[in-house]
Amino acid sequence: MPLLAPTRPVQAFLLLSTCLPDHEYLDRPNTNNCMLRFTAVLRRQQFLIRALSGEAHSRGATEIKVMAEGNLEADAVSILRRITPLLDPNRNKGQAGKIAVIGGCREYTGAPYFAAISALKIGADLSHVFCTKDAAMVIKSYSPELIVHPILEESYSVRDEDKGFISSKTVAEVAKWIERFDCLVIGPGLGRDPFLLDCVGEILKLARRSNIPVVIDGDGLFLVTNNLDLVSGYALAVLTPNVNEYKRLVQKVLDSEVNDQDASEQLLSLAKSIGGITILRKGKSDLISDGRTVHVVSSFGSPRRCGGQGDILSGSVAVFSSWARQVQTTAEEDATFSTSNPMVLGCIAASALLRKAAFVAFESNKRSTLTTDIIEHLGRSLEDISPAC
The annotation status of 285 as a binding-site residue, yes or no, is yes
Q: CB under 8 Å to 188, separation ≥6 — which residues?
A: 101, 103, 104, 108, 111, 112, 114, 115, 217, 218, 220, 311, 314
Alpha-carbon distance of 251 to 254, in angstroms, equals: 6
Q: CB under 8 Å to 161, separation ≥6 — which residues?
A: none
The annotation status of 127 as a binding-site residue, yes or no, is no
Report pLDDT for 336: 58
The annotation status of 205 as a binding-site residue, yes or no, is no
Report phi then psi at 216, rounded to 5: -115, 125
The annotation status of 311 as a binding-site residue, yes or no, is yes
Alpha-carbon distance of 153 to 162, in angstroms, equals: 11
Report pLDDT for 337: 62
The annotation status of 220 as a binding-site residue, yes or no, is no
**Which residues of the chain are in CATH 3.40.1190.20 domains?**
83-385
Would you call 167 helix, strand, or coil by DSSP? Answer: helix
Report pLDDT for 374: 97
Report pLDDT for 71: 60
The annotation status of 193 as a binding-site residue, yes or no, is no
Are the CB atoms for 112 and 104 separated by under 8 Å? yes
Are the CB atoms for 382 and 122 separated by under 8 Å? yes
State how far the alpha carbon of 331 is from the alpha carbons of 23, 88, 119, 123, 364, in Å. 37, 18, 24, 21, 39
Q: What torsion do the CA atoms of 281, 245, 239, 38 make, to the nearest 10 degrees?
A: -10
| Residues listed for the chain | 389
Report pLDDT for 17: 38
Q: Over the Cα atoms of the chain, what is R_g? A: 21
Report pLDDT for 121: 97
Q: Across the 389 residues of the chain, what is the mean pLDDT of every consecutive 10-residue run?
A: 41 38 36 42 43 36 39 87 90 87 96 98 97 96 97 94 95 96 98 96 97 97 97 98 97 96 96 98 96 93 92 98 88 61 97 96 96 97 92
The annotation status of 286 as a binding-site residue, yes or no, is yes
Report phi then psi at 151, rounded to 5: -115, -15
The annotation status of 283 as a binding-site residue, yes or no, is yes
Report pLDDT for 35: 42
The annotation status of 363 as a binding-site residue, yes or no, is no
Report pLDDT for 9: 41
How many beta carbons lie within 10 A of that of residue 299, not counting itself?
22
The annotation status of 160 as a binding-site residue, yes or no, is no
The annotation status of 245 as a binding-site residue, yes or no, is yes
Residue 287 pairs in a beta bridge with 281, 296
State how far the alpha carbon of 214 is from the alpha carbons of 64, 233, 238, 323, 331, in Å. 24, 13, 6, 14, 23
Q: CB under 8 Å to 290, separation ≥6 — which residues?
A: 235, 271, 276, 277, 278, 279, 341, 343, 344
Helix axes 309-329, 76-83, angle to 10 degrees: 60
The annotation status of 305 as a binding-site residue, yes or no, is yes
Are the CB atoms for 98 and 181 separated by under 8 Å? yes
Does the reported pTM lie above 0.75?
yes
Helices (H), the chain: 8-19, 31-53, 76-83, 110-122, 133-142, 163-178, 194-209, 219-225, 243-254, 263-273, 309-329, 335-338, 342-365, 371-376, 378-385
Report pLDDT for 300: 83
The annotation status of 159 as a binding-site residue, yes or no, is no
Query: Which CATH number is associated with domain 83-385?
Result: 3.40.1190.20
Alpha-carbon distance of 187 to 191, in angstroms, equals: 8
Report pLDDT for 56: 35
How many beta carbons lie within 10 A of that of residue 43, not counting itself?
11
The annotation status of 284 as a binding-site residue, yes or no, is yes
